[in-house]
Structure 1
Amino acid sequence: MKTRVNTPEVEFPEDFYIPIPLDTNNITSLSPFLVPQDHLSDTGIFVIMTIFMSILFVGGTSINTLTIVCTLKFKKLRSHLNYILVNLAVANLLVSTVGCFTAFYAFLHRYFILGALMCKIEGFLSTMGGMVSLWSLAVVAVERYLVICKPVGSFTFRNTHALIGCAIPWIFALVASLPPLFGWSRYIPEGLQCSCGPDWYTVKNKYNNESYVIFLFVFCFGFPLSVIIFCYGQLLFAVKSAAKAQEGSASTQKAEREVTKMVVVMVLGFLVCWLPYAIYALWVVTHRGEIFDLRLATIPSCMSKASTIYNPIIYVLMNKQFRSCMIKLVFCGKNPFGDEDEASSQVTQVSTVSSSQVSPS
């Protein structure tokens, strides 16, 4: 369904906004808290989204719970960097149990049946969890840059640094997600009106949505992305320099290729998660009155929620030690695929840079 943004003929309630056709005036009859939103899309799309959200809920909850339980059970996983990855798992778990499950239940009924208050709660918790996840990725990049590239000399990552690295994402996430609860923007149903997030649609009102969207773009996308690109860029430069100095070493060249692949995957994972949201929000803000397909507005929210699965795959399951411990936990202490612990403890050196240090660990 193609619609125009911010139709001026209709006065919208405080709790929601639907970019409806210009000839529709009975906004109350379309409330996403009262009636199925069948006027926005056909039933098949809602069925597909219900199935997709159920997969995210089950998959995201399972894999992130396993990450946390494994770290608690296996002492060898309690390294400083892994604390940050557990922090990431907690944030993902918040999004999967609250955001994905709520969206699943709403898509199942084809409207946000849980009401306006739950919409605000879901929007806040999902946004906060997403921001913690986002900033945790930036913290991981900074940690690897400091430890491996040594820009401040010899740096040892200690418990204090790990705690600070875990606290910073939550502080930044609160700074980003609390304002809509206090009048700077607001949390309302988005897309097909079955999940909630910041108000990207309305402008020139008391909520100052445009300034909030710009704030999110700069503080929660542009800045962390710059940090990630800079840190991993420096890391790649260090690894390639070390590999060039040891051109005759096959193990060194292999480690350089592995590090390059891992860095590319990490950056792409970040972009897949947040680039659609950033582009969509800016487009809506800067193209008032433009026609767009409302069903496409659901995609950015889905991509960000899908990070509850692919972030752990990139940062946890691609680590041999974590993967081995998870398999042992699932199979009651046995690994039917062979013991990878020994392999994971063998570090391939690239001069002073090792591939094990830059891969998830």
Structure 2
Amino acid sequence: MKHGRIVELPEDFYIPIPLDTDNISSLSPFLVPQDHLASAGTYYAMAAFTFFVFVAGTAINLLTVACTIQYKKLRSHLNYILVNLAVANLLVSCVGSFTACCSFANRYFIFGPHMCKIEGFMATLGGMVSLWSLAVVAFERWLVICKPLGNFVFKPDHAIACCAFTWVFALIASAPPLFGWSRYIPEGLQCSCGPDWYTTNNKYNNESYVMFLFGFCFAVPLSTILFCYSQLLITMKMVRQTTSYNASLTQQKAEREVTRMVVVMVLGFLVCWTPYTAYSLWVVNNRGQTFDLRFASIPAIFSKSSAVYNPVIYVLLNKQFRSCMMKMVGMGSGEDEESSASQSVTEVSKVGPA
């Protein structure tokens, strides 16, 4: 980025402009390419990446929903939550990634300031539903496997209630900028929109909103995930130590599978959201420090890629879902895998105190 000064327009955008430019409107991210921020090649590379996220994320999440509609065997309590995750991912890929792709291809946000607010809200809503869905999946695994409530049975009605819970909490997190607590503006290279964590405008109380998002939508879901999965691993280790040798072989296999899934789940969560969270917190707590908006775009866009690798982790590593997907696209009957999946689920579900 060339040397310049930071200029804020109260309602629309916040960008660095060249020192020799006095006409701010001439550099509006809603009107002209933002070539003073990065090269055209950078914009086109980001356009290619967001196009991939849009196509892959939309396809795999639509397939997840379609499989659940077609195959009744997939309508279990856990799979309801996975479908909820898929719907949230569709919101991110179809709205967030699509608009970002078109804007990066044109090197500015071509849809205007009103669409910026809508895109920022919809992408944030989908992202928050996704985050809380991951926490709900962890909570469900804890209830089913560790049995902290004894013989309590997690039923589809409970899963539907949990899905509703994720949307309510997501609305609580994403709606405030529409009503004056912070605001949605172009971020990074000005081709996607998100909450304003750049400015200290007292009118919007941006700093308090960023801290609210950090605590309510990152720290709490992450703590839930880490607690539930740590308890799950401890429970499975105890079962392995108290069972006979022959029985423990089966449990060891189940424990390895769950351990691998847990590691991938937690890493996926951290890889998706830690860069975006860390960068926004750094900017909020280092007011006056210079920063390159090109690097601000990377975590913002990368968080949208969760629409692709979330279903890979939570769906394609689910043997039953994978089997049904293969059958739907005509790549095999999947009968053996379905049998194996049912056996594996039965084994893992038996882990824990009676």
Q: TM-score range by the shorter chain?
A: over 0.9
CA distance in 1, matches of 2:197, 2:22: 21
CA distance in 2, matches of 1:90, 1:350: 27
Partner of 2:221: 224
TM-superposition CA deviations, 1:156-194 (whole Å, max 9, x none) = 011321111110110000000000000000000000000
Partner of 1:181: 178
Deviation at 1:337, TM superposition (A): 7.4
AA paired with 1:352?
A: K
- 2:50 maps to 1:88: no
- 2:249 maps to 1:250: yes
- 2:55 maps to 1:34: no
Going from structure 1 to structure 2, the CA distance change for 1:164 and 1:336 (only over 3 Å counts) comes to closer
Which of residues 333, 338, 343 is equivalent to 2:340?
343
AA paired with 1:269?
A: G
SS of 2:121 mapped into structure 1: helix
> Gaps spanning 5+ residues in structure 2: where?
none
Task: Decide whether the 8 Å contact of 1:242 with 1:350 is kept in 2.
Answer: no
> Which structure 1 residue ranges, 4+ long, deviate > 6 Å from structure 2?
none
Partner of 1:321: 320
Partner of 2:351: 353
AA paired with 1:227?
A: T
AA paired with 1:138?
A: A
AA paired with 1:349?
A: E
Partner of 2:146: 149
Correspondence 1:22-171 to 2 at 5 A: 24-171=21-168
Identity across matched positions, percent: 67
TM-superposition CA deviations, 1:258-284 (whole Å, max 9, x none) = 211111111111111111111011001
Count of paired positions:
349
Task: Decide whether the 8 Å contact of 1:2 with 1:292 is kept in 2.
Answer: no
CA distance in 2, matches of 1:147, 1:351: 6
Task: Decide whether the 8 Å contact of 1:87 with 1:136 is kept in 2.
Answer: yes
SS of 2:185 mapped into structure 1: strand
CA distance in 2, matches of 1:75, 1:304: 32
Partner of 1:172: 169
103-112 or 340-349, which moves further after superposition?
340-349
SS of 2:186 mapped into structure 1: strand
Partner of 2:234: 237
TM-superposition CA deviations, 1:263-308 (whole Å, max 9, x none) = 1111111111111111011001011111222111011111211000
Partner of 1:196: 193
Partner of 2:207: 210
Deviation at 1:14, TM superposition (A): 1.1
Going from structure 1 to structure 2, the CA distance change for 1:350 and 1:196 (only over 3 Å counts) comes to closer
Deviation at 1:329, TM superposition (A): 0.6
Task: Decide whether the 8 Å contact of 1:2 with 1:293 is kept in 2.
Answer: no
282-291 or 69-78, which moves further after superposition?
282-291
CA distance in 2, matches of 1:103, 1:351: 42
Going from structure 1 to structure 2, the CA distance change for 1:202 and 1:21 (only over 3 Å counts) comes to farther
Deviation at 1:254, TM superposition (A): 2.0
AA paired with 2:214?
A: F
SS of 1:131 mapped into structure 2: helix
AA paired with 2:350?
A: T
SS of 1:197 mapped into structure 2: strand
TM-score by length of 2: 0.94
Deviation at 1:146, TM superposition (A): 1.2
Deviation at 1:57, TM superposition (A): 0.5
AA paired with 1:147?
A: V
Task: Decide whether the 8 Å contact of 1:2 with 1:291 is kept in 2.
Answer: no
SS of 1:188 mapped into structure 2: strand
Task: Decide whether the 8 Å contact of 1:3 with 1:293 is kept in 2.
Answer: no
Going from structure 1 to structure 2, the CA distance change for 1:350 and 1:118 (only over 3 Å counts) comes to closer
Query: Aligned-residue CA RMSD in angstroms?
Result: 1.9
TM-score by length of 1: 0.92
SS of 1:34 mapped into structure 2: coil
CA distance in 2, matches of 1:99, 1:226: 27
Task: Decide whether the 8 Å contact of 2:31 with 2:110 is kept in 1.
Answer: yes
CA distance in 2, matches of 1:74, 1:264: 29
TM-superposition CA deviations, 1:7-42 (whole Å, max 9, x none) = 3xx452411111345664432111000000111000
Deviation at 1:246, TM superposition (A): 3.3
